[in-house]
Amino acid sequence: EACKLNSQEVVEEDKRLKLPPNWEAKKARLEWELKECAERGEDYERVKLLEISAEDAERWERKKKRKNPDLGFSDYAAAQLRQYQRLTRQIKPDLEQYEKLKEQYGEALYPTSDSLLHGTHVPSKEGVDRMVADLEKQIEKREKYSRRRPYNDDADIDYINERNAKFNQKAERFYGKYTAEIKQNLERGTAV
């Protein structure tokens, strides 16, 4: 039971540390404004919107539209979907060729479950060249993305080999804020 209570306290403390420093004051002010609106019988949302000027509201809407919805990497499926959408936006269809195929095949151009068009399509030389150029561009972009991390000569050497250096970096990233005081005491020689 003590472990359970301790873990709950750790979670609560973590939530409190993640909140902004003036969160308590904001919360108190918001509760006061809600109470005032409730006493007067007004809707808080309407009162809040009445305080905003038209220019500010317009600027806020423009900023919201302009804001990039890309939140970065969330999972592999989302990354794959984003790449697919980006690549399909870049495709420039050849409408003349499409019209020729449409005249040539008629309704058979749009296959159904009963169609036997498999293996009859031969891509044009230009189409193959376009695809090859696109793939080469993707490979080139991928090679640019993978870059070496710079080496810092001034950093303290607290490792015995490269593998140990990576381990220490990970440990520092996850536990550094908890061990900072202990490290300082060890460096000063005041550790107990």
Q: Report the pLDDT value the prediction gives residue 144, as an integer from 0 to 100.
A: 82
End-to-end CA distance of the chain: 31
Q: What is the pLDDT of residues 90-122, one digit of tens each?
A: 888 888 888 988 888 887 777 777 777 666 778
Q: Report the pLDDT value the prediction gives residue 117, as an integer from 0 to 100.
A: 66
> What's the pTM value of the predicted model, to 2 decimals?
0.37
Q: What is the pLDDT of residues 117-151, one digit of tens each?
A: 666 778 889 889 988 998 999 899 888 876 666 77
Q: What is the pLDDT of residues 9-48, one digit of tens each?
A: 999 988 888 888 888 888 888 888 888 888 888 888 888 8
Q: Report the pLDDT value the prediction gives residue 142, as an integer from 0 to 100.
A: 84
List, in sequence order, the alpha helices (H) in the chain: 2-18, 23-40, 44-50, 54-66, 76-90, 95-105, 125-145, 162-188
Confidence of residue 53 (pLDDT cuts 50, 70, 90): confident
- pLDDT, mean over the chain: 84
Confidence of residue 6 (pLDDT cuts 50, 70, 90): very high
Confidence of residue 70 (pLDDT cuts 50, 70, 90): low
pLDDT > 90 fraction of the chain, expressed in percent and rounded: 13
Q: Report the pLDDT value the prediction gives residue 132, as an integer from 0 to 100.
A: 94
* Residue 175 scores a pLDDT above 70: yes
Q: How far apart are CA 191 and CA 119, in angstroms?
A: 77
Q: Which residues contact 97 (CB under 8 A, 6 or more apart)?
A: 124
